Structure 1
Amino acid sequence: MNQSRFWVVGGEYTSTDFETLIKGTERIAGPFDSRGDAERTWRALSEDYRPLARVRFTIAQEPPAALNA
Protein backbone atom coordinates (compact mmCIF):
# COMPACT_ATOMS: atom_id res chain seq x y z
CA MET A 1 0.00 0.00 0.00
CA ASN A 2 1.30 3.42 -0.93
CA GLN A 3 1.52 6.05 1.78
CA SER A 4 0.94 9.76 1.49
CA ARG A 5 3.86 12.14 1.26
CA PHE A 6 3.97 15.53 2.92
CA TRP A 7 5.26 18.91 1.72
CA VAL A 8 5.88 22.21 3.49
CA VAL A 9 4.81 25.12 1.29
CA GLY A 10 4.54 28.86 1.74
CA GLY A 11 6.32 32.16 1.45
CA GLU A 12 5.66 35.87 1.82
CA TYR A 13 2.18 37.14 1.01
CA THR A 14 1.09 40.59 -0.14
CA SER A 15 -1.02 41.04 3.02
CA THR A 16 -2.04 39.27 6.19
CA ASP A 17 -5.09 37.96 4.33
CA PHE A 18 -2.66 35.31 3.02
CA GLU A 19 -4.29 35.10 -0.42
CA THR A 20 -1.52 36.13 -2.84
CA LEU A 21 2.12 35.07 -2.62
CA ILE A 22 4.79 37.55 -3.62
CA LYS A 23 6.51 36.14 -6.71
CA GLY A 24 9.96 34.84 -5.94
CA THR A 25 9.33 34.21 -2.23
CA GLU A 26 7.72 30.81 -2.68
CA ARG A 27 9.33 27.99 -0.70
CA ILE A 28 8.68 24.27 -1.02
CA ALA A 29 10.32 21.66 1.20
CA GLY A 30 9.87 17.94 0.81
CA PRO A 31 8.67 15.43 0.11
CA PHE A 32 8.59 13.91 3.58
CA ASP A 33 7.51 10.34 4.24
CA SER A 34 6.00 11.21 7.61
CA ARG A 35 3.94 14.08 8.96
CA GLY A 36 6.35 14.32 11.90
CA ASP A 37 9.28 15.06 9.58
CA ALA A 38 7.21 17.69 7.77
CA GLU A 39 6.18 19.26 11.09
CA ARG A 40 9.80 19.60 12.19
CA THR A 41 10.64 21.46 8.98
CA TRP A 42 7.46 23.57 9.27
CA ARG A 43 8.41 24.58 12.83
CA ALA A 44 11.96 25.49 11.81
CA LEU A 45 10.83 27.60 8.84
CA SER A 46 8.08 29.26 10.86
CA GLU A 47 10.55 30.15 13.60
CA ASP A 48 13.07 31.53 11.08
CA TYR A 49 10.44 33.89 9.65
CA ARG A 50 8.60 34.68 12.89
CA PRO A 51 9.36 38.45 12.79
CA LEU A 52 7.71 38.75 9.35
CA ALA A 53 3.93 38.89 9.80
CA ARG A 54 3.17 38.25 6.11
CA VAL A 55 5.12 34.97 5.87
CA ARG A 56 3.24 31.73 6.35
CA PHE A 57 3.95 28.06 5.81
CA THR A 58 1.63 25.09 5.85
CA ILE A 59 1.83 21.32 5.48
CA ALA A 60 0.22 19.78 2.42
CA GLN A 61 -0.53 16.08 2.19
CA GLU A 62 -0.18 14.36 -1.15
CA PRO A 63 -2.74 11.59 -1.68
CA PRO A 64 -1.42 8.04 -2.04
CA ALA A 65 -0.60 7.11 -5.64
CA ALA A 66 -3.29 4.40 -5.53
CA LEU A 67 -5.95 7.13 -5.21
CA ASN A 68 -4.65 8.84 -8.36
CA ALA A 69 -5.09 5.75 -10.57
Structure 2
Amino acid sequence: MHKSRFWVVGGEYTSCDCETIVQGTERVVGPFENRMEAERTWRTLSEDHRPQAQVRFTIAQEPPMTLNA
Protein backbone atom coordinates (compact mmCIF):
# COMPACT_ATOMS: atom_id res chain seq x y z
CA MET A 1 0.00 0.00 0.00
CA HIS A 2 1.33 3.44 -0.89
CA LYS A 3 0.64 6.18 1.61
CA SER A 4 1.62 9.82 1.64
CA ARG A 5 1.31 12.37 4.44
CA PHE A 6 0.91 16.15 4.24
CA TRP A 7 2.40 18.93 6.37
CA VAL A 8 1.77 22.68 6.60
CA VAL A 9 5.07 24.54 6.87
CA GLY A 10 6.07 28.19 6.94
CA GLY A 11 6.67 31.20 9.12
CA GLU A 12 7.86 34.78 8.85
CA TYR A 13 10.40 35.59 6.14
CA THR A 14 12.94 38.41 6.05
CA SER A 15 11.37 39.83 2.87
CA CYS A 16 8.40 39.28 0.57
CA ASP A 17 10.67 37.15 -1.65
CA CYS A 18 10.18 34.37 0.94
CA GLU A 19 13.74 33.09 0.58
CA THR A 20 15.04 33.36 4.17
CA ILE A 21 12.89 32.53 7.18
CA VAL A 22 13.27 34.50 10.42
CA GLN A 23 14.84 32.15 12.96
CA GLY A 24 12.37 31.13 15.65
CA THR A 25 9.24 31.74 13.55
CA GLU A 26 9.27 28.36 11.79
CA ARG A 27 6.05 26.36 12.03
CA VAL A 28 5.43 22.76 11.06
CA VAL A 29 1.89 21.44 11.52
CA GLY A 30 0.88 17.88 10.82
CA PRO A 31 1.03 15.23 9.67
CA PHE A 32 -2.30 15.06 7.86
CA GLU A 33 -3.53 11.87 6.24
CA ASN A 34 -5.06 13.70 3.27
CA ARG A 35 -4.59 16.97 1.41
CA MET A 36 -8.05 18.30 2.30
CA GLU A 37 -7.19 18.30 6.02
CA ALA A 38 -3.88 20.03 5.31
CA GLU A 39 -5.61 22.65 3.14
CA ARG A 40 -8.06 23.43 5.92
CA THR A 41 -5.19 24.13 8.34
CA TRP A 42 -3.22 26.05 5.67
CA ARG A 43 -6.25 28.25 5.00
CA THR A 44 -6.74 29.02 8.72
CA LEU A 45 -3.06 29.87 9.28
CA SER A 46 -2.95 32.00 6.13
CA GLU A 47 -6.08 33.93 7.11
CA ASP A 48 -4.79 34.46 10.66
CA HIS A 49 -1.60 36.05 9.28
CA ARG A 50 -3.12 37.92 6.32
CA PRO A 51 -2.05 41.40 7.56
CA GLN A 52 1.57 40.22 7.81
CA ALA A 53 2.90 40.31 4.23
CA GLN A 54 6.08 38.43 5.09
CA VAL A 55 4.37 35.42 6.70
CA ARG A 56 3.76 32.50 4.34
CA PHE A 57 2.66 28.90 4.66
CA THR A 58 2.62 26.08 2.16
CA ILE A 59 1.62 22.43 2.02
CA ALA A 60 4.39 19.86 1.71
CA GLN A 61 3.72 16.28 0.70
CA GLU A 62 5.96 13.43 1.79
CA PRO A 63 6.91 11.01 -0.97
CA PRO A 64 4.63 7.96 -0.88
CA MET A 65 6.06 5.09 1.11
CA THR A 66 5.23 1.44 1.11
CA LEU A 67 3.71 0.31 4.40
CA ASN A 68 4.16 -3.29 5.35
CA ALA A 69 1.10 -4.87 6.93
TM bucket (normalised to shorter chain) is: over 0.9
Query: 2:11 matched to which residue of 1?
Result: 11
The separation in 2 between residues aligned to 1:2 and 1:23, in whole angstroms, is 35
Pairs within 5 Å for 1:1-69: 1-66=1-66
Q: Which has the higher helix share?
A: 1
Residues matched between the structures, number: 66
**What TM-score does the superposition give when structure 2 sets the normalisation length?**
0.93
Aligned identity (percent) is: 71
**What TM-score does the superposition give when structure 1 sets the normalisation length?**
0.93
Unaligned stretches of 5+ in structure 2? none
Unaligned stretches of 5+ in structure 1? none
> RMSD of the TM alignment (CA)?
0.6
Q: Over residues 30-67 of structure 1, what are the superposed CA-to-partner deviations in whole Å (9 max), with x where a residue is unaligned? A: 0000000000000000000000000000000001123x
SS in structure 1 opposite 2:51? coil
Using the TM superposition, give the Cα deviation of residue 2 of structure 1 relative to its aligned residue in structure 2, in angstroms. 2.5
